[in-house]
Amino acid sequence: MKHIDKATRFANYIIDMLIVYMLFVIFTLFENDYGLYYFVFNGIMFSYYFLFEVTTSQTIGKMITKTEVVRKDGSKASFIKILIRSISRLIPVDWLSYMFGNDIGMHDLFSNTVLKKKK
């Protein structure tokens, strides 16, 4: 299966992170406890990726770029694979792993998943 190019992955990342940051701003608009911000942000990010990918195999960024998450054999990724993938995204250097390293990110490697073009 051909890997999705870095430009598409970058577009997915930017779109999804803009949405995550907007949700973060909304959730913290009336909260002044800066010590909780780290946990709130990571909770929103985990929930966003997990809920979208477990239900549709796509996030909003992936919907726009017409890509989806699948297992390496091309079949639908399981609940556990998406859970591992979503937890792995919380590793601070995860985004660097596919932007400046391999064609796949740590979250793909740990969950044994890939991105493919949606038909």
Residue 7 pLDDT class (50, 70, 90 cuts): confident
| 115/99 Cα distance (integer angstroms) | 14
Assigned domain for 1 exists: no
Assigned domain for 72 exists: yes
Assigned domain for 30 exists: yes
What residues make up the domain containing 88? 6-117
Looking at residue 30, its pLDDT comes to 81
Looking at residue 103, its pLDDT comes to 66
Tokens of 52: 């979208």
Q: Name residue, tokens 């391999």.
A: 102
Residue 84 pLDDT class (50, 70, 90 cuts): very high
Tokens of 38: 């780290």
Looking at residue 101, its pLDDT comes to 63
- For a pLDDT cut of 70, what percent of the chain falls above it? 92
Assigned domain for 18 exists: yes
Assigned domain for 46 exists: yes
- For a pLDDT cut of 90, what percent of the chain falls above it? 61
Helix spans in the chain (H): 6-28, 37-56, 60-65, 79-88, 94-99, 106-111
Please write the tens of the pLDDT for every residue from 37-80.
999 999 999 999 999 999 999 999 999 999 999 999 999 999 99
- Which is more confident, 112 or 92? 112
Looking at residue 1, its pLDDT comes to 60
> Of 116, 64, 61, 66, whose CA–CA distance to 89 is shortest?
61
Cross-strand partners of 70: 76, 114
Domain count, the chain: 1
* Cα torsion through 60, 36, 105, 11, rounded to 10: 30
